[in-house]
Chain A
Amino acid sequence: MDRAVERDLIERAIAGERAAAGELIKAHQRSVYGYILRMSGRHETAEDIVQEAFVRVLANLHRFDFRFRFSTWLFTIARRLYMNAVAKSKPAYDTDFVGSMGGKGTMPDASTYSDERSTTQKDAIQSALMHLSVEQREIIVLFHQLDWPIALIASHLDMPEGTVKSHLHRGRRRLRVLFKEHKQLASLYKDHFGGAFNETGDEVLA
């Protein structure tokens, strides 16, 4: 979105224009939702967090500093909400019992996620991403999915650019290998179960 247009929308939203706020949501919801979904691996978690992030940002829009981009602010708040959600649900994953329950919490265990979801071509990338470290996953999503420059990622994550690049390169290599593996696994499932295979693979697993 053009910066001038964005500024105009923000000013109108501050003045109380509902439609302008709607336009801001429309313009940014896909990117921030995609970001949180890739991080959490769960649609419902992503939806909750993104909604909350939008509510907080729009409720405090009068505090917005026009020197920065709206998207940066929104992503920072969404990321903080996600981190809080992970921190809150973390103890549940520290126990073997809850871990074996198959991820009712915010962030599923990578292996659980793999078992449940890696059966489809569509979810192979998500499954591969969930096997990366949080830093690698986040940097790859920001760089390759959202096309953020290295400098902006470094600023967003409060990390030196060299460290960002290091995470990016290692993560990308691992992602390549993991994605290939998960794709092969998905193909195997498809060949084996044939017509019983559905889009998500949930029926087969059930």
Chain B
Amino acid sequence: MNRGQDHESFDERIPGRIPESLIDAALDGEICDRMQEEIAHALQYDHERRAELLETADAVRAMNLDDIPMPDMQCAVLNRLDEHERFIPRTMRRWVRTGRMAIAAGILLGLMLVAGLQSVYPRLTTIGAQSTPVHDVATAVEQDTQRVAENVQSQVAQMRASLSPLEGLLAAPKPSGTKTFTLTLNHQVVRLSEADLAALRASGVMVRTDTETNRFPAQLNRSLTLVSYGGDGQMLINTHDGLRTLSRAKETRGVVVVTERVELESTSDECIADLP
């Protein structure tokens, strides 16, 4: 590795030898023609340095570019560039340029059209969320309310029709001193005597007292029906269609107070019978 350096230090000590730095400068082309001639002359007497110089020249000559076998890369490079569409025919390039300009002009015209429409019809061209006018909401609410009112009205009418057998009972005063049952029917307190119960039964309303608790028919489907009455004041009343909903109620000082609503999954006799 240090052979060159060793040579140099050795050479510099020998008198009459051409300094290696001078040879380097000559090889670098940094000395004038006159100096080069002097070195060439001196080399005739310095055989070792001459041999070194010849060897160096030999190595440099071996690096000649022309000796290197080289593939022609022209086609390969141009083909790769064609993949990037770097070189396309002039006519096609013109078409591409025209096409790009047409696209740009189209986009510009579109934007101008939108801008024009925006000024004339702001609502038409606004892409963002638009606020809903208040009068639309008011109309919608009004219509909904009307629909709900009609619905309620029809249900009330239906309920009234189902209560028609009791209408006479609501109006007639009840004799005092007899055993009565008090129910709140249609927001009115109704007192029922045993005769009233019999009349209700006669009109088709199914009424059961505590003695009949365990024998409820499945077809009990009238509204506001006393289902069961216990001796301790506990009673069951059916306030809706069928037996879907029963209310557990209690009679206190002649007034029936609903204490609990019972939602039933089925209308079978067993379910009813399970109720206390």
Contact = CB atoms under 8 A, between A and B. Distances in A.
Nearest to A55: B80
B79 to A, nearest CB: 10
Contacts of B59: 125, 128, 172, 175-176, 179-180
Interface in B63-104: 63-65, 67-74, 76-78, 80-81, 84, 86-88, 90, 93
Nearest to A175: B59
B144 interface: no
Contacts of B24: 165, 168-169, 172
Given A25-B74, A33-B68, A34-B68, A141 B28 contact: no
Interface residues of A, number: 46
B88 A16 contact: yes
A176 B28 contact: no
A30 B65 contact: yes
Interface of chain B, helix or strand or loop or mixed? helix
Interface in A169-206: 169-170, 172-177, 179-180
A124 interface: yes
A29 B73 contact: yes
Interface stretch (A46-54, A81-89, A107-115): A46-54
Contacts of A63: none
Given A25-B73, A26-B74, A173-B7, A16 B68 contact: no
Nearest to A47: B71
B63 A25 contact: no
Contacts of A31: 65
Nearest to B30: A150
A21 B78 contact: yes
Given A58-B77, A170-B4, A179 B70 contact: no
Interface of chain A, helix or strand or loop or mixed? helix
A17 B160 CA distance: 98
B62 interface: yes
A58 B27 contact: no
A125 B73 contact: no
B84 A59 contact: yes
A177 B64 CA distance: 18
A29 B4 CA distance: 34
Contact of A177 (B4, B67, B77, B78): B4
B41 interface: no
Contacts of B80: 51, 55
A51 B73 contact: yes
A22 to B, nearest CB: 5
B62 A16 contact: no
Contacts of A144: 60, 63
Interface stretch (B50-58, B129-137, B179-187): B50-58
A72 interface: no
A12 to B, nearest CB: 11
A170 B80 CA distance: 41
Q: Which 6 A-B pairs have the closest CB atoms?
A: A173-B4, A125-B62, A179-B59, A18-B87, A54-B77, A145-B63
